[in-house]
Amino acid sequence: MSEKVIKRENASEESAAMRPAVNVVEDATGITLYADLPGVPKEKLSIHVEGDNLILEGELEINSPPNMEAIHAEVDLSRYRRVFGLSRELDGNKVSAGFRHGVLELRIPKAEHAQPRRIVVQAT
């Protein structure tokens, strides 16, 4: 019984997140992911690789005046979350990240063995 309640709480916590819009571009040596996370300061951004999953999370920090009364809100949740499955040829250990003006740029290189190799055709 209590476990069910806990599970339900966790579930609502999971769903109470906005899904950041992303662009994903792949080139020969890896994948670049751009995620829109407006309102998230650098310190409140977290990027995890767990197994085959890449987990993006961020918490909004909008410094509105304490006595402000909200009259219209299109952004009414305080966090973002999105999970991507990484395919095997991507190297989750070498992810590099940059964050500027609310846009996260992640570079996920392809593993050495998955890099394209040019086969030289020998003349015989």
Residues that bind other proteins (CB under 8 A): 19, 21-28, 31, 34, 36-41, 61-62, 64-65, 67-76, 83-85, 101-103
Contacts of 4 (CB under 8 A, 6+ apart): none
Taking the least distance from each CB to other proteins, the nearer of 84 and 95 is: 84
Question: Scanning the structure block, which residue is given the tokens 């998230």?
Answer: 40
How far apart CA 32 and CA 105 sit, in angstroms, is: 7
Shortest separation between residue 119's beta carbon and other proteins, angstroms: 18
How far apart CA 34 and CA 98 sit, in angstroms, is: 10
Taking the least distance from each CB to other proteins, the nearer of 5 and 71 is: 71
Shortest separation between residue 32's beta carbon and other proteins, angstroms: 8
Taking the least distance from each CB to other proteins, the nearer of 3 and 110 is: 110
Shortest separation between residue 21's beta carbon and other proteins, angstroms: 4
Taking the least distance from each CB to other proteins, the nearer of 15 and 93 is: 15
Shortest separation between residue 114's beta carbon and other proteins, angstroms: 15
Contacts of 35 (CB under 8 A, 6+ apart): 20, 21, 22, 56, 80, 82, 103, 104, 106
CB atoms within 10 A of CB 78: 16
Coil, strand or helix: which one is 124? coil
